[in-house]
Amino acid sequence: MSSSNADMISKRRFKLTKEIRKATLSGSEYYELKRVLETLELVEIDLNALLVENTNKIAKFNTNNGRYRVLEDGRHEFAINDTVMIFTTENGMIKYVETKANAKARKETDIILEMLLAVIDRPIIQNEIKNIKDTKERLRKHASLRGYDEIRKMIRSDTLQTLITIDNMDKPVVIE
């Protein structure tokens, strides 16, 4: 083997061991990315639970013979039995609420309000879940995260060899 090839191999080996040392000793970016992924997982779990709650509220409205219609003047009418709530909206926001119910109709009124809030929250929650999934996918594809993860797997599979490499990395390699 010629001297220039030995020098090139020595330089490459030094660079490799330097990168392994960096990955094993620091790895802060890897852990930061992993923490972000773990946090996103928890938020996604919470949002999915809220989505289930909203679905249950809508189902409760429907199982209580809830009725919904858009009136000719554009107002939204929700009704259960003799309890009727009419919502006037402006720019997607509720501007005015008209309630027609007797004093004992609190249960029906609550069901209508819960269902209405569920319908309003549902697209927002679904969009948040989509954003979280997209972010998690981008993080999983992040080169640093994949690279550190691969190096860690390699290190864990042969700890003795890694320790020997790191221990000897600053010593010059003599190839004869």
| One-letter-per-residue 3-state SS of the chain | CCHHHHHHHHHHHHHHHHHHHHHHHCCHHHHHHHHHHHHHHHHHHHHHHHHHHHHHHHHHHHHCCCEEEECCCCCEEEEECCEEEEEEEECCEEEEEEEECCCCCHHHHHHHHHHHHHHHHHHHHHHHHHHHHHHHHHHHHCHHHHHHHHHHHHHHHCHHHHHHHHHHCCCCCCCC
pTM of the model: 0.56
pLDDT score at 60: 92
- Within a domain: 35: yes
- Within a domain: 96: yes
pLDDT score at 27: 53
Residue 15 belongs to domain spanning: 5-164
User: CB count, 10 Å around CB of 86?
Assistant: 16
- Within a domain: 172: no
Q: Which residues of the chain have pLDDT under 70?
A: 1-32, 103, 142-176
User: Mind listing the pLDDT tens digit for each residue in 43-63?
Assistant: 888 889 889 999 999 999 999
Q: Tokens 């061991």 map to which residue?
A: 17
Cα–Cα distance between 69 and 134 in angstroms, integer?
Answer: 35
Domain count for the chain, please give it. Answer: 1
Max CA distance (Å), the chain: 99
pLDDT score at 56: 93
- Within a domain: 150: yes
